[in-house]
């Protein structure tokens, strides 16, 4: 556990020694707020909730999270520092978890810094704060899924651009999986059971449920399971690249 915290601290400080952390935080906060107020009709709805704020998070994460995740391993391999890092008295799993937790912490910080909009709805009305807490948790778990996919893609290549495109594409597939645009054509050629499985793989299905305050076990297990699967894939890819 101590080694994981050491790696996490190293990665966390690295974010703030470069423009990465400030840029991410500024872009996320400005973009999410602007979309909520202008496209989401925050004031025009005259409803004291944060639905306009959270509804755009999947699409914001689709680009911002892979932009963070693409450098987790690709940059290490490009610069040659991966070999040094992996020869330290650390297991591959400890490095994988440390890097992931640092990036997930940065995403969590961005969400935490959006607290003024939460205060705003409480000043303007009487929102269901339990639903808002569930939406924040759902947003963070969904971002964690995006990040785990991006980390695995980054471990597969030394090219950050390739890692970004690959992870964004995979995340896009997970987002679109539950939409009628995808399910209707598939339903015409495949059994309904398979269509239901594909639908349940959608980020949007599970995130939307949590954003409405439905903190069911199924959605939590889905996101945690996906994150673990992608982190194991990340570990396996690093082990393959370590092999002589």
- Could you list the pLDDT tens digit for every one of the 244 residues in the chain? 778 888 899 889 988 888 888 999 999 999 988 888 887 776 666 676 788 888 899 999 999 999 998 888 887 777 777 667 777 777 888 889 999 999 999 999 999 999 988 888 888 778 888 888 888 999 999 999 999 999 999 988 888 899 999 999 999 988 887 776 666 666 666 677 776 777 777 888 888 888 776 667 788 888 999 999 999 999 998 888 776 5
In a domain, 69, yes or no: yes
In a domain, 21, yes or no: yes
**Cα separation, 236 vs 32, whole angstroms:** 35
pTM of the predicted protein model: 0.89
Block residue for tokens 């400030």: 22
Q: How many structural domains compose the chain?
A: 1
**Structure-block tokens of residue 82:** 């991966």
Please give the angle made by the CA atoms of 192, 193 and 198, to the nearest 5 degrees: 95
In a domain, 188, yes or no: no
In a domain, 129, yes or no: yes
In a domain, 174, yes or no: no
In a domain, 9, yes or no: yes
In a domain, 192, yes or no: no
Residues 6+ apart with CB under 8 A from 91: 3
Block residue for tokens 């645009």: 181
Residue 51: phi and psi, rounded to 5, are -55, -45
In a domain, 103, yes or no: yes
Domain that holds residue 78: 2-169+217-242
């Amino acid at each position: 556990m101590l080694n994981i915290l050491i790696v996490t601290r190293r990665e966390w400080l690295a974010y703030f020694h470069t423009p990465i952390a400030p840029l991410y935080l500024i872009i996320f906060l400005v973009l999410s707020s602007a979309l909520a107020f202008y496209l989401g009709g925050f004031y025009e709805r005259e409803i004291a909730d944060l639905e306009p704020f959270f509804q755009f998070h999947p699409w914001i994460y689709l680009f911002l999270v892979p932009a963070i995740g693409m450098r987790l391993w690709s940059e290490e391999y490009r610069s040659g520092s991966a070999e040094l890092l992996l020869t330290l008295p650390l297991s591959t799993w400890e490095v994988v978890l440390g890097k992931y937790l640092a990036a997930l912490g940065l995403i969590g910080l961005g969400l935490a810094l959006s607290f003024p909009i939460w205060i705003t709805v409480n000043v303007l009305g009487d929102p269901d704060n339990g639903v808002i807490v569930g939406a924040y948790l759902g947003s963070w778990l969904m971002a964690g899924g995006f990040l785990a996919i991006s980390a695995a893609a980054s471990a597969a290549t030394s090219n950050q651009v390739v890692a970004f495109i690959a992870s964004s594409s995979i995340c896009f597939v997970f987002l679109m999986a539950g939409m009628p645009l995808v399910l209707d054509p598939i339903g015409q050629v495949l059994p309904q059971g398979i269509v239901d499985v594909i639908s349940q793989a959608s980020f949007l299905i599970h995130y939307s449920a949590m954003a409405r305050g439905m903190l069911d076990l199924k959605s939590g297990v889905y996101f945690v399971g996906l994150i673990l699967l992608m982190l194991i894939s990340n570990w396996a890819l690093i082990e393959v690249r370590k092999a002589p």
